[in-house]
Structure 1
C-alpha cells in the first residue's frame, strides 16, 4: 500500500504531522508493506527566492495580527511539537521560498533518500540554528542525507531541474481537493487531512488496508472520520486545535 504525503518544509503542522504519522504507522500491523512517498506543496508559491524574513513578522503581516499575537501563535504550535518530542525554536526562525527544497527532495526521491532529507530539513528549520533558505545549508543537508554533493549543487544551480515535478505535485494536490497541508493520500483511494493524532493514522491505515472508505478522493477531502486535523494553508493560517479537539 502506498501513502503519499503532500507537505511543505515551512509548515509546522507538517513537521508535527510527520512525527504523528510515523508513530501511527509503527502501530500498524502491515507497516512493512507500506511505501511512503513525499509530495510537494508550497504554502507561499509566489515568494521570490531571495525574499527571506523572520517567520513572526511574516505571520503578523499576512494575517493582520500584532507581532505579539503572532508570537503567541508560534508558542502554541511549539507546545504541540514539544509534546511529540520535537525541538521547536520560537521567534527566531526565517521564512522564505521552499521551491529549491522541494526540487532537492525530488532528487532525493530518485536516490531513495527522500525521507532522510525531509527529516533533516524539518529539524534544521524548526529546531536548529540553520536556515533552509541558504543554498550552502541545503547542500550540507543533502550530503547528510546521503546524496552526492556535486549532483546536489548542480540541481540547485539549475532552476529548471525538477521544477516540473514540483509543479506536477502541486497541480495534483489541487485536483484532489487539498487546500492545506499536511495532506495524506492512502492507496490513491482515501484522504486524511491535517496533523491528526497517531491513533487516527493507525485507524486510517487499517481502514484503507481493509478497503473501507475514510474520505473518497474527489469529494470533501476534509479528513478522517474523527474530524479535521490541524493544518496550514496558503493564506498563512496554521490552525490551532481548540480545547476538546485533537492535539
Structure 2
C-alpha cells in the first residue's frame, strides 16, 4: 500500500502531521507493507526566491491580523508541536520561497535519503535558530542527510534541475483537489487533510489496508504463460 504525502517545509502542520502519521504508522501491524512517498507543494509560490521575511510579520500581513494575534497563532501551533515532542521556536524564524528546497528533496528522493533530509529541514526551520532558506545551511543539511555536497550544490545552481518533478507533484495535487497541506493520499482511494491526531491516521491506515482491491483476472481470458522467481517458465 502506498501513502503519498503532499507537504511544504514552510507548513508547521506538515511538520506536526508527519510526526503524528509516523506515530500511527509505527503501531500499524502491516507497516512493513506501506510505502511512503513525499510530494511537493508550495504554500507561497509567488514569494520571490532569495528573499525572506519574519514569520510573525508574514502571518499578520497574509491573514490581516495584528502582530499580537499572529504571535498568538504561532503560540497555538507551538503548543501542538510540543505536545508531539517536537521543538518549536516562537521568535526569530523566517519565511521564504521553498521551490529550491523541494528541488533538493527530489534529488534526495533519487538517492534514497528524502525522508532524512525532510526531517532535518523541518527541524531546522521550526526548532533551530538557523535559517533553512540560507543556501549554505541547506547544503549542510543535504550533506548531513547523506547527499554528495558537489551534487547538491550543482542542483541548487541549476534552476532547471528537478524543477519539472516539483511542478508535476503540484499539478497532481491540483488534480486530486488538494488546495492545502498536509494532504495524505492512501492507495489513491482515501484522502486525509491536515495534521490530524494519530488516531485518525491509524483509522485511515486500517481502512485503506482492509479495502485494498485484490487483482481480478480478466473475464474470459485463459491463463497465459508465466515465469516464476526460481527461473522456471510454463
Question: Hey, what does 2:118 align to over in structure 1?
Answer: 118
**Could you tell me the TM-score, scaled by structure 2's length?**
0.89
Distance 2:110 2:82 in 1: 32
Moved over 4 A (4+): none
Question: Hey, what does 2:232 align to over in structure 1?
Answer: none
How far is the alpha carbon of 1:179 from its aligned partner?
Answer: 1.0
Question: Hey, what does 2:225 align to over in structure 1?
Answer: none
**Could you tell me the TM-score, scaled by structure 1's length?**
0.85
**RMSD between aligned residues:** 1.1
Q: Which has the larger radius of gyration?
A: 2
Question: Hey, what does 1:36 align to over in structure 2?
Answer: 36
Question: Hey, what does 2:211 align to over in structure 1?
Answer: 211
**Alignment length, in residue pairs?**
213
SS of 2:199 mapped into structure 1: helix
Question: Hey, what does 1:2 align to over in structure 2?
Answer: 2
Consecutive unaligned residues of structure 1, counting only runs of 5 or more, are 214-247
Question: Hey, what does 2:132 align to over in structure 1?
Answer: 132
1:106 aligns with 2:86: no
How far is the alpha carbon of 1:27 from its aligned partner?
Answer: 1.2
Distance 2:45 2:78 in 1: 24
Question: Hey, what does 1:180 align to over in structure 2?
Answer: 180
SS of 1:36 mapped into structure 2: strand
Where do 1:139-158 residues align within 5 Å?
139-158=139-158
How far is the alpha carbon of 1:92 from its aligned partner?
Answer: 1.3
Distance 2:118 2:133 in 1: 14
Distance 1:69 1:110 in 2: 41
Residue by residue over 1:73-94, the C-alpha shift from the partner in whole angstroms, topping out at 9 and shown as x without a partner, is: 0001100000000000012100
SS of 1:49 mapped into structure 2: coil
Question: Hey, what does 1:241 align to over in structure 2?
Answer: none
Where do 1:48-127 residues align within 5 Å?
48-127=48-127
Residue by residue over 1:160-193, the C-alpha shift from the partner in whole angstroms, topping out at 9 and shown as x without a partner, is: 0000100000010000000100000111221111
How far is the alpha carbon of 1:212 from its aligned partner?
Answer: 7.3
Distance 1:205 1:85 in 2: 23
Q: Is the 8 A contact 1:74 1:91 kept in 2?
A: no
Consecutive unaligned residues of structure 2, counting only runs of 5 or more, are 214-234
Distance 1:54 1:173 in 2: 28
